[in-house]
Amino acid sequence: MLKPSDKELFLLIKKDDYSAFDELYNRYWLPLFNKAYKRLHDKEACSDILQDIFTDLWNKRAVREIENVPAYLTTAVRNKIYTLLAEGKTGYHFVQPFENMISTAAADSSFNQKEINHLLYLWMQTLPEKRREIFRLKYYEGASTRMISEQLNISQKTVQNQLLLAFQDLRVHIAEYVAATGVVIILKDAFYF
C-alpha cells in the first residue's frame, strides 16, 4: 500500500483529519529537529520550535495554502530560528559567519527581495566608513580577514572586531523586521545593488 504524498496529507489535514496530521508530524519531526539542532544546539529550543510550527500548521490548516510541504516546514523552522536568534532568546550566538546566514527564498512567501536589498543598503550607509569598507571587502569582494588587514594596513584582530561590531549592529537594525514579518532575509545576493 502506497503512503500518501505530502500534498495529499495536507489536503486531508485541511479536512480535519488527525491521522493525516500525525503522519505528517511523524514524517518530518526528526529531520526538522536535526536541522534546528545544527543551528541552535539546544534540544529544548528545537522542540519548542517544532511544537510551535506544527501547532500553527494545525490551527491555520483551513486558511493555509501549501504547495510544497517540506519546503514550507523547512522555511518555517529557519524563520523561527532566525527570530529566536534575533531576539536573543537562545544561548546560541546570533553573530556567526555571514555565509551561514545565506538561505533560499521562503517557500510560499511573497516578500520582496528588492526591499531587503534596500534595507541592507540603508543599514550599510549607517556604518562608520572604515567598518563599511571592511564589511564591503569581506562580502562584496569575498576577501579574507588577512587580505583585508593587509590591504587596509590594520591588524586581523581589528578586522574581526569590526566585522563583529557590524553583525551586532545588523542584529539591532534587522531583528525587528525579521521578528515582525517572520521572513528569512536572503543575504546571498543582497549586496549586489
Q: How far lies 89's CA from each of 35, 42, 82, 144, in Å?
A: 18, 11, 10, 31
The reply to whether 54 falls in a domain is yes
Q: How many domains does the chain have?
A: 2
Taking only the tens place, the pLDDT of each residue in 79-96 is 888 777 766 555 544 434
Give the CATH number, domain containing residue 148. 1.10.10.10
| Threshold 0.85, pTM exceeds | no
Do 133 and 83 lie in one domain? The reply is no
pLDDT exceeds 70 at position 136: yes
Do 143 and 74 lie in one domain? The reply is no
pLDDT exceeds 90 at position 27: yes
The reply to whether 60 falls in a domain is yes
The reply to whether 188 falls in a domain is no
Query: Which of 48-57, 112-121, 173-182: highest mean pLDDT?
Result: 48-57
User: Which stretches within 41-144 are classed as H helix?
Assistant: 43-59, 69-87, 113-126, 129-139
Do 46 and 110 lie in one domain? The reply is no
The reply to whether 193 falls in a domain is no
User: What is the extent of the structural domain holding 69?
Assistant: 6-92
